[in-house]
A and B are shown apart, each in its own frame.
Chain A
Amino acid sequence: KQEVTQIPAALSVPEGENLVLNCSFTDSAIYNLQWFRQDPGKGLTSLLLIQSSQREQTSGRLNASLDKSSGRSTLYIAASQPGDSATYLCAVISGNTPLVFGKGTRLSVIA
């Protein structure tokens, strides 16, 4: 059974700092991995999707990497801003099974 773990559970940083969020998964036979953002009381917004054959994806100040063999992914946020404050969720698809989510990292960027 696939399990996804995100560390840390919560993170508080000053504005402008670069930061890394971590995601690990137990079964390396994944189809793809997605990073989502969730604002309080809102739904999930997809940030980046990495196919199993890819090593990383970039969108603006965000960069996600994938190391399938070690079962890990990182989300790098450059020059953090207060607007980046949200919960970030990692999820994987393995074969025909639907997305399995981690419990998220709650990020606070302090102005």
Chain B
Amino acid sequence: DAGITQSPRHKVTETGTPVTLRCHQTENHRYMYWYRQDPGHGLRLIHYSYGVKDTDKGEVSDGYSVSRSKTEDFLLTLESATSSQTSVYFCATLGDSQETQYFGPGTRLLVL
């Protein structure tokens, strides 16, 4: 599982508050991704990173920002949480061989 941890695993917050989710990996993988998973939509890419300080937007990036100051950490920030951002968030990594993608256990976020 490429040693991927996500924190927190569960969070309840209120509309309008900032939220930061953390993804930590121990395999020194170059590529890191944030997805959200919602019923009827499957997994959708929010942002991804192809190296330290190198990030790009995915399919559903509005309302989200990311930062990667170290290889092992990839942070996802909801600047001002909305109810539409209630979801399960998954972090994933990919090594330089660009073969198997590994996923973290997920973070369940509820925005009230």
Contacts and interface: CB of A to CB of B under 8 A. Distances in A.
Q: Is the interface of B mostly helix, strand, loop or mixed?
A: strand
B101 A99 contact: yes
A49 B99 contact: yes
Interface residues of A, number: 20
Nearest to B48: A98
Contacts of B78: none
A101 B42 contact: yes
A42 interface: yes
Contact of B41 (A31, A32, A93, A103): A103
For chain B, the bracket of interface size reads 20 to 34
Given A31-B98, A32-B99, A42 B43 contact: no
Given A98-B33, A103-B40, A103-B42, A43 B90 contact: yes
Given A43-B105, A98-B33, A89 B98 contact: no
A44 B40 contact: no
A46 interface: yes
Contacts of B90: 43-44
Interface of A: 31-32, 34, 36, 42-46, 49, 89, 91, 93, 98-104
Interface of B: 1, 31, 33, 40-45, 48, 58, 90, 92, 98-106
Given A43-B103, A45-B103, A98-B45, 20 more contacts: A32-B99, A34-B100, A34-B101, A43-B1, A43-B90, A43-B106, A44-B43, A46-B100, A49-B99, A89-B42, A89-B43, A91-B101, A93-B98, A99-B33, A99-B45, A99-B92, A101-B42, A101-B43, A103-B40, A103-B41
